[in-house]
Amino acid sequence: MDTLVETALRLRIIDWVQRQAELNGGFLYRHELLSHRIDGMDLPVIDYSRGIRNPQNFTSTLSIVASASGPYDDAESDDGLLHYAYRDGDPWGGDNRKLRNAITTGQPLILFRKEVKNIYTPIAPVYVVDDVPEERAFLIALDESFTFVPDPRNLSVPQRAYAVRLARQRLHQPAFRTRVLVAYEVRCAVCQLKHGSLLDAAHIVSDSEEHGVPTVNNGLALCKIHHAAYDQNMMGITPDYMVEIDSELLAEIDGPMLKHGLQEMHGRTISMPARVADRPDRELLAWRYAKMSRR
Ligand SMILES: [Zn+2]
């Protein structure tokens, strides 16, 4: 396939993946990726059985899957780049050939983090920037600027700091949102709103704090309004899982959003994930709630 045509096609696929993910709440279901069609043709975005998708007429890889256990995935390292292991078989042939091609073509690809069975968080575009034969791994960068770095295997200190910050924004935050939303069955814990595109994963203890870990028990699935109200301390959640609306806000008189959306939530019990380990940690809730009470 002509390079420009291939690039254009990839960008359309990436665009579709991102829009579909946004509709669901930041992730795609396996069946959506497998049944993807473009211009009337079947073009699955992931492979049925392998963690890499190499469409026959593409010069290089379209997507790779990294499985995740907890907040971090199996390809991460402390240099901020992903170290993606060679696929089984011939290191110079098969799937590895098309991954290596991506280094020279510079074609963007999609990285999927498989958070839970059948649920994929897309990170796109990403770029294959180097090959580390002694590690039997490819280096994957989250930003095109790394394709211009002469030796991605030896990043300078500021380059590395940038890569690590990117990983947090483009990898950990979307993954956290997926894991939290899926645990809460894609519903706001306060009002039960169930539109993924209107839901966020709120941190109970902010990730700028040392104990603000990106685990589901430090998260709450909240709609945009309740997330903002929680972050602004207009709404709190007690360690007993009760919703508390700020007293000044409770006394205010305004339209239906204030009345039904906020004031009527006062005193409700939040809905929680089925899995006990995913439920909000009471100590984290208490730490956060104390901040609201001090207002
Ligand atoms: Zn809500």
Q: What is the CA(295)–ligand 1 centre distance, in A?
A: 22
pLDDT in tens, 49-90: 989 999 999 999 999 998 876 555 566 777 888 889 898 888
* String of DSSP letters for 42-85: E--SS-SSSSEE--TT-SS--EEEEEEETTEETTB-TTSSEEEE
Quote the pLDDT of residue 165.
87
Q: What is the CA(166)–ligand 1 centre distance, in A?
A: 29
What's the predicted TM-score (pTM) here? Answer: 0.91
In the chain the beta strands, taken as DSSP E runs, fall at 28-29, 37-38, 41-42, 52-53, 63-69, 72-73, 82-85, 109-116, 119-132, 137-141, 199-203, 219-223, 235-237, 243-245
Q: What is the CA(200)–ligand 1 centre distance, in A?
A: 10
175 touches 71 (CB < 8 A): yes
Q: What is the CA(30)–ligand 1 centre distance, in A?
A: 27
| Mean per-residue pLDDT of the chain | 92
Q: What is the CA(224)–ligand 1 centre distance, in A?
A: 7
Domains and CATH numbers, the chain: 3-180 (2.30.280), 186-293 (no CATH)
How far apart CA 105 and CA 1 sit, in angstroms, is 13
Q: What is the CA(190)–ligand 1 centre distance, in A?
A: 5
